């Protein structure tokens, strides 16, 4: 039986390997969505948190996805194996990288893929809204998804594919992830400009 890498250990590793505030925030956002789904499904919240936190932990140091030895996400996968992490976590991290062609079989792997791109997109949406993530709806997120120039790096096909593989209604999936991230709006800095100013403003979405 493999030992578990704790959430505390995962955060320490992320803090050591990742200096970019935006990449740290992305990993925290994905963790929030993963924990939300783990709670909903009755799964191991800490294991799912670790998968979310560490799925991109090596990207800043080892961004070359074509490097079969030291590229992303192979480096973090190898590191976790060396630490006797739960193989399911390693498998889920492998599955989120579509270019590795690793089948997403477990609920953890399917969920990580389903929330990765979407979490990043929802954070981007929150940053351009005066009230941040508060009051955000699936309708407004879908409207932004149709705007190709907005958060252009987000793979729209994978956002929808993730929900399909997870077997959940797309709108329900959007609403669930919005809710999971809103619960950690302080940590993710998603309160928006109006919160900083102390006065509500209309939703531009």
Q: What percentage of the chain carries pLDDT values higher than 90?
A: 84
- What pTM did the predictor assign? 0.90
Which secondary structure element, helix H or strand E, spans residue 16, and what is its range?
helix 7-17
Q: Which residue segments constitute the domains of the chain, with CATH numbers given?
A: 7-186 (1.10.3210)
- The predicted-structure confidence for 186-198, as pLDDT tens digits, reads as follows 999 999 986 444 4
| Whole-angstrom distance, CA of residue 37 vs CA of residue 24 | 20
Q: Which two tokens stand for residue 69?
A: 């030895």
- The predicted-structure confidence for 148-170, as pLDDT tens digits, reads as follows 999 999 999 999 999 999 999 99
pLDDT value for 69: 60
Core vs surface per residue 46-83: b (16+ CB within 10 A) or e: bbbbbbbbbbbbbbeebeeeeeeeebbbbbbbebbeee
């Amino acid at each position: 039986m493999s030992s578990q890498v704790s959430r505390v250990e995962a955060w320490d590793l992320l803090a050591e390997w990742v200096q970019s505030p935006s990449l740290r925030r992305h990993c925290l956002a994905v963790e929030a969505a993963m924990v939300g789904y783990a709670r909903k499904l009755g799964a191991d919240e800490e294991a799912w948190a670790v998968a979310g936190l560490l799925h991109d932990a090596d990207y800043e140091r080892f961004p070359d996805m074509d490097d079969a030895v030291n590229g992303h996400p192979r480096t973090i996968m190898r590191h976790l194996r060396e630490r006797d992490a739960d193989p399911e976590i390693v498998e889920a991290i492998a599955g989120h990288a579509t270019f590795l062609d690793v089948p997403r079989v477990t609920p953890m792997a399917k969920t990580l893929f389903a929330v990765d791109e979407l979490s990043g997109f929802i954070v981007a949406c929150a940053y351009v809204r005066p009230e941040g993530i508060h009051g955000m709806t699936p309708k407004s997120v879908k409207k932004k998804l149709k705007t190709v120039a907005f958060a252009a790096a987000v793979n729209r096909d994978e956002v929808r594919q993730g929900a399909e593989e997870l077997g959940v209604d797309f709108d329900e999936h959007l609403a669930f992830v919005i809710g999971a991230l809103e619960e950690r709006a302080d940590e993710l800095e998603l309160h928006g400009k109006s919160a900083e100013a102390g006065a509500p403003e209309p939703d531009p979405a």
